[in-house]
């Protein structure tokens, strides 16, 4: 029995035990049969009751589980299936609960797992489980109209719906399911040559798109979908810190700046390792599997899919390649982001999109550097342009804020030259004149109110346009990084360089003074030392050229420590992060 499989059997048996006691047994409750989540409310979403059901289904049919053919678990599973049918809306959808009501994409997430549960139970030679399988099939059949007509919010939702359509087609064989999947796929895949998806979400939505498009590619016989998955998985090899923490420093979604590991990539690496017979993917599958520690979304449950697809996940006998721990990896260096952004006005949406984001940082350049236990990320078009891990030390980010814009500077350019990395941006700010006569609203100035929001501001001429150039040059040394910050000659722009550090470490230094909220300091002079475990870094030199504690429109989330260095333009200053 392979180690990952053995671990998963024990883990999911423990999950089964812990979730069974959370099932609502009160027959008078509208939630009867559901499993309570952290809110205390059972929900039919992909992280709620179906997620636990995936573990239960796996345990019921797996001879290696201590719950194999357990009558009590089967009874609980049938109750949960009834809950899913009872909480399914008349239009076939389910609601996420926290938001997204009568939601086609959230229904698609659930379909992605329930189709696999159904196949596992229906294909198992045990008559008592067939009524439960029939209930799952009824739930799925009800979802078909919503999957055939429903829309999405975000880029990855398209691929989750496409996967749901494909998996439903495997069961029901309706050609209109394939036709609808092809409509979504006709939009083209939103991935760069180096493997980055639109949302740049290494912690969450990369893995969502990967597993969805694997199944869509498998069912629809579309190898180009597997190529997209392959690209992202190759990129992710270089987006993991030595601790196993995924790089989320530039995410365009809710994983931004939070801690995630590789667990949700396990199945995608495993499927593609088996498909390609790829030793690197096999090693990454083992690595990702080592982080699995509880419930996943039902569409990405490790044990469920190992049991449903034993041949497609078989990597026994496949060699494992060593995982790289020393590299300089440039990502999206050749991506034509400038060209793409330059075409926005011609599209005609005027930067308006409902219930989603434009994700304008898609394809922005990133550089990843790793030297054993030291890991660095340099990135453009994001609030932080530099982050570093040194053993247990977490320098979560370095950002520059200015009163010119005002707010955090997002450097647009990133170039590498002679071992140095230079980021640059030219900020622009102007004023608007009166509306030309031909664009004035009817009866404007005739004594009637003229609301500001009803004026066509897009036609105002710009006046007195000002620019401000800022650059950051990053240079690695033997055991240090130098950060050179330069401005143009514009005078008296209040600027703040901020080092964001993990809350778990200890800060010290004679030049530190408190700056407002707890955990925030200005480094007036000298050096600041930050220690975590047996590791430390030193930041120097300090400066306090102004007394502003917070630049307008810059925010500092809770749960971190901040060291600010206060500058006034013009400046050309070099700061050092020394590894100790």
3-state secondary structure of 15: helix
Roughly how many angstroms between the first and final C-alpha of the chain, as a whole number? 43
pLDDT of residue 350: 66
Q: What share of the chain in percent tops pLDDT 70?
A: 98
pLDDT higher than threshold 80 for residue 320 = yes
Contact criterion met (CB below 8 Å) for 344 and 312: no
Q: Which two tokens stand for residue 541?
A: 């030199």
Residue reference for tokens 């109209």: 145
Dist CA 104 CA 249 (whole Å): 30
Please tell me the CATH code under which domain 3-326 is placed.
1.50.10.100
In this prediction, residue 98 carries a pLDDT of: 78
In this predicted structure, the answer to whether residue 6 has a pLDDT above a threshold of 80 is yes
Residue 326 confidence class, pLDDT cut points 50, 70, 90: very high
State both tokens at 2: 């392979």
* pLDDT tens-digit map of 12-50: 999 999 999 999 998 999 999 999 988 889 998 988 999
Burial 504-530, CB ≥16 within 10 A → b, else e: ebebebebbeebeeebbbbbbeebbbb
**DSSP conformational letter for 321:** P
pLDDT of res. 446: 65
Task: Say which DSSP state 129 is in.
Answer: G
- Residue 19's contacts (CB-CB under 8 Å, 6 or more residues apart) are 35, 52, 55, 56, 295
Q: How confident is the model at residue 160 (pLDDT cuts 50, 70, 90)?
A: very high
160 within 8 A of 208, measured Cβ to Cβ? yes
Mean predicted confidence (pLDDT) in 416-428 = 93
Position 358 pLDDT exceeds 80: no
* DSSP assignment of 431-478: EE-PPPGGGSPTTTTSSS---GGGS-GGGPPEEEEEEEEEEEEEEE-S
* Tens-place pLDDT, residues 335-351: 877 778 778 777 767 66
Query: In the predicted model, is pLDDT for residue 176 greater than 80?
Result: yes
56-93: pLDDT as tens digits: 999 999 999 999 999 999 999 999 999 999 999 999 99
Beta bridge partners of 35: 23
With residues binned 3-state (H G I as helix, E B as strand, rest as coil), the percentages for the chain, rounded to 5, are 35, 25, 40
Q: How many residues does the chain have?
A: 580
pLDDT(149) > 80 = yes
| Residue 457 main-chain phi, psi, to 5 deg | -60, -25
Q: Residue 239: enclosing H or E segment and its boundaries?
A: none
DSSP string, 37-60: -TTSSB--STTSHHHHHHHHHHHH
Residue 213, classed as helix, strand or coil, is helix
For residue 164, give the nearest of 203, 230, 208 by alpha carbon: 208
Q: Residue 251 burial by CB count (10 A; 0-12/13-18/19+): exposed, middle or buried?
A: buried
The three-state secondary structure class of 566 is strand
* C-alpha to C-alpha distance for 258 and 292, rounded to whole angstroms: 18
Beta strands in 216-269 (DSSP E): none
pTM given for the model: 0.93
- H/E segment holding residue 340: helix 337-342
Close Cβ partners of 75 (under 8 Å, ≥ 6 residues apart)? none
Helices (H) and strands (E) in the chain, counts: 14, 18
């Amino acid at each position: 029995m392979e180690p990952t499989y053995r671990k998963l059997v024990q883990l999911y048996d423990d999950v089964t035990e812990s979730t069974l006691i959370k099932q609502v047994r009160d027959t008078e409750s509208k939630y009867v049969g559901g499993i309570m989540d952290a809110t205390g409310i059972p929900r039919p979403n992909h992280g709620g009751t179906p997620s636990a059901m995936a573990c239960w289904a796996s345990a019921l049919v797996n001879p290696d589980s201590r719950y194999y053919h357990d009558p009590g678990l089967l009874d609980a599973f049938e109750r949960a299936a009834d809950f899913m049918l009872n909480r399914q809306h008349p239009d076939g959808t389910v609601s996420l609960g926290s938001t997204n009501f009568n939601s086609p994409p959230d229904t698609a997430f659930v379909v992605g797992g329930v189709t696999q549960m159904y196949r596992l139970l229906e294909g198992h030679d045990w008559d008592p489980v067939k009524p439960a399988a029939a209930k799952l099939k009824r739930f799925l059949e009800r979802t078909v109209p919503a999957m055939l007509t429903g829309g999405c919010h975000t880029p990855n939702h398209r691929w989750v719906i496409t996967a749901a359509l494909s998996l439903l087609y495997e069961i029901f064989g309706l050609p209109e399911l394939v036709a609808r999947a092809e409509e979504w796929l006709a939009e083209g895949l939103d991935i760069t040559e180096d493997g980055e998806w639109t949302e740049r979400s290494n912690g969450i939505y990369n893995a969502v798109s990967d597993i969805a498009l694997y199944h869509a590619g498998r069912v629809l016989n579309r190898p180009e979908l597997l190529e997209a998955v392959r690209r992202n998985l190759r990129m992710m090899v270089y987006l993991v810190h030595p601790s196993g923490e995924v790089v989320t420093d530039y995410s365009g979604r809710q994983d931004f700046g939070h801690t995630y590991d590789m667990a949700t990539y396990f199945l995608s690496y495993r499927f593609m390792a088996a498909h390609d017979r790829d030793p690197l993917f096999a090693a990454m599958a083992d690595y990702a599997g080592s982080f699995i520690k509880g419930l996943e979304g039902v569409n990405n449950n490790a044990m469920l899919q190992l049991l449903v697809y034993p041949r497609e996940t078989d990597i026994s006998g496949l060699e494992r390649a060593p995982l790289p721990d020393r590299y300089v990896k440039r990502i999206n260096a050749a991506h034509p982001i400038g060209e793409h952004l330059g075409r926005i006005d011609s599209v005609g949406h005027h930067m308006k999109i409902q219930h989603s984001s434009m994700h304008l940082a898609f394809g922005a350049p990133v550089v990843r550097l790793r030297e054993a236990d030291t890991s660095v990320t340099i990135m453009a078009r994001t609030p932080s342009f530099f982050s570093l891990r040194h053993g247990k030390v977490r320098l979560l980010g370095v950002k520059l804020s200015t009163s010119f814009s005002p707010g955090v500077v997002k450097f647009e350019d990133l170039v590498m030259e002679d071992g140095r990395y230079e980021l640059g941006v030219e900020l622009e700010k102007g004023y608007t004149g009166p509306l030309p006569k031909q664009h004035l609203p009817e009866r404007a100035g005739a004594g009637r109110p003229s609301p500001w929001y009803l004026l066509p501001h897009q036609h105002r001429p710009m006046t007195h346009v000002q620019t401000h150039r800022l650059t950051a040059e990053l240079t690695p040394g033997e055991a240090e990084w130098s950060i050179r910050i330069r401005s143009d000659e514009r005078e008296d722009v209040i600027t703040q360089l901020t080092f964001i550090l993990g809350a778990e470490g200890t800060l010290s230094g004679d030049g530190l003074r408190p700056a407002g909220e707890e955990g925030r300091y200005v480094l007036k002079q000298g050096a600041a030392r930050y220690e975590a475990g047996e590791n430390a870094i030193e930041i120097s030199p300090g400066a306090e050229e102004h007394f502003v504690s917070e630049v307008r429109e810059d925010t500092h989330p809770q749960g971190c420590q901040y060291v600010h260095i206060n500058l006034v333009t013009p400046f050309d200053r070099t700061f050092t992060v020394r590894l100790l």
